[in-house]
Amino acid sequence: MKNVIIIGGGVAAVNAMKAIRELDPEINIIAICKEAVYPYFRTRLTKSLFENLDADKILLQKKEWYEQNKIQLHLSKEVVSIDTEHRTIGLNDEVRLCYDKLLLANGANNFKPQIDGIDKENVLTIRNYKDVQTIKEHVGDKKTILHIGGGIQNLEAAWAMCSQGKEVIIAEFMDRLMPRQLDVRASEILKFAVESSNVKVNLSTQIVGLTGDNQVTGARTKNSEIISCNMVIYSVGIRPNIKLYEATVIQMNHGVIVDDHLRTNIENIYAAGDIAEFEGRVGGLWPIAMEQGKIAGYNIAGKSATYTSIMPVTTMNAFNLSVFSIGNIDENSNSLTIIDDPEDGTNYRRIFIRDDIVIGAIIIGDTKNNQLIKRFVENKTLIADIDFTHITVDDLLMKLKNL
């Protein structure tokens, strides 16, 4: 009987297991997970930071599912070597395992910025379940929390800190919040909402050093300003965990390079999720990891399946705002846009259209049409015979519902 080994325990790994079992109930599946907890919804970490975040309540599958599907799940184990010629992997307990097919799904880590003092105590990041526990253990007596990075993860963490009555400061290198997901106006609305929760937002701010002895007491900006704080949480992007593969012949760039079957340059080795680089890009998003895991699993089990790029979708609920962004939202492109901006600070809608196709959207506020918009963007549905120059967002949405 053949052995399939999966390195990693995220959503790409679990979706691969499901796809393999859908086609083959008998093939041996062995998963090596570095963390001590069963695979879980990583996206819940910052959304539920100060809730009773019991690992068993955020599992991707119930524990018994793995036994029922005859999956050998090895927790608190780490792969330290791969021999692609002899098709074996070595674990940190000196055990070696043989594989017929191998899936690399060990994800990414939060990038540690090159900041003097970044290794001081109370300088933390949120990537896994243990990180959340560490923050909760140390934050109790901390008054001022500095968040380096103004992306979704840090905004959600900042919102959670507000719920605990902490003084919160955000330092963002760019000149606005979430510039890849929002246009200028939507970023302004988001910034207003954040500041309305008594959070200080420092844009165009580069942190170059952290002050204090063992514990951080402040941060120094490139302009030599000092921001006082007694805890730092950073989130400035991710980096695929490719170090394990550097001693192998597996081809890499930013991540492990894969084709549209999620195969690497080695026929029996696949990659999916945040470790995988497809068409020059690392996905870094939950829906991409889900789809790649499924496609990789099908191909591993013998069913030919092709992966096509997933449309980037961003959702966030924080600071009393619901934020949704999908597709191409480049306001400098030649696309036509339809805007609804009541200027109430909590609602904003902008639909991007090119060649009679909805190519992107930004929605702040009412979420009821988000799935409708998502379907039209993903399907690239042609919506001809509409005078887009004389139509409101509501009129357009009504027409989309009737198509």
Q: What is the pTM of this model?
A: 0.91
Give the tokens for residue 369: 């049409």
**Do residues 247 and 104 share a domain?**
yes
Closest to 46 in 3D by CA, of 133, 160, 137: 160
pLDDT digits (tens, 9 = 90+) for 63-110: 999 999 999 999 999 999 999 999 999 999 999 999 999 999 999 999
305 within domain boundaries: no
**Please, which residues have CB within 8 angstroms of residue 11's CB and are 6 or more apart in sequence?**
39, 41, 42, 60, 273, 286, 289, 290, 293
pLDDT of res. 309:
86
Q: What is the mean pLDDT of residues 218-234?
A: 96
pLDDT of res. 385:
79
Cross-strand bridge partners of residue 110: 238
pLDDT digits (tens, 9 = 90+) for 124-151: 999 999 999 999 999 999 999 999 999 9
Percent of all residues in the chain with a pLDDT value above 70, rounded to a whole number? 100
**Do residues 67 and 128 share a domain?**
no
pLDDT digits (tens, 9 = 90+) for 339-379: 999 999 999 999 999 988 999 999 999 899 999 999 999 99
pLDDT digits (tens, 9 = 90+) for 250-263: 999 999 999 999 99
Which H, E and C letters describe 12-78, residue by residue? HHHHHHHHHHHHCCCCEEEEECCCCCCCECCCHHHHCCCCCCCHHHCECCCHHHHHHCCEEEECCCC
**Do residues 245 and 285 share a domain?**
yes
Kindly tell me if the per-residue pLDDT of 209 is higher than 70. Answer: yes
**Do residues 172 and 227 share a domain?**
yes
What are 77-82's contacts with CB under 8 Å, separation 24+?
77/32, 77/33, 77/34, 78/32, 78/34, 79/7, 79/32, 79/106, 79/244, 80/244, 81/244, 81/247, 82/244, 82/245, 82/247, 82/248, 82/250
116 within domain boundaries: no
**Counting Cβ atoms within 10 Å, is residue 199 exposed (0-12), middle (13-18) or buried (19+)?**
buried
**Do residues 93 and 184 share a domain?**
no
What CATH number did the domain enclosing 53 receive? 3.50.50.60
Total domains present in the chain: 3
Q: What is the mean pLDDT of residues 304-332?
A: 92
Q: What is the mean pLDDT of residues 165-173?
A: 96
**Do residues 104 and 243 share a domain?**
yes
**Do residues 147 and 76 share a domain?**
no
pLDDT of res. 262:
98
Q: What is the mean pLDDT of residues 199-208?
A: 97
Kindly tell me if the per-residue pLDDT of 161 is higher than 80. Answer: yes
Q: Which domain holds residue 378?
A: 322-402
**Do residues 336 and 379 share a domain?**
yes
**Do residues 361 and 379 share a domain?**
yes
**Do residues 151 and 8 share a domain?**
no
**Do residues 206 and 279 share a domain?**
no
In the structure, what pLDDT confidence band is assigned to residue 1 with cuts at 50, 70 and 90? low
**Do residues 218 and 257 share a domain?**
no
pLDDT of res. 188:
97
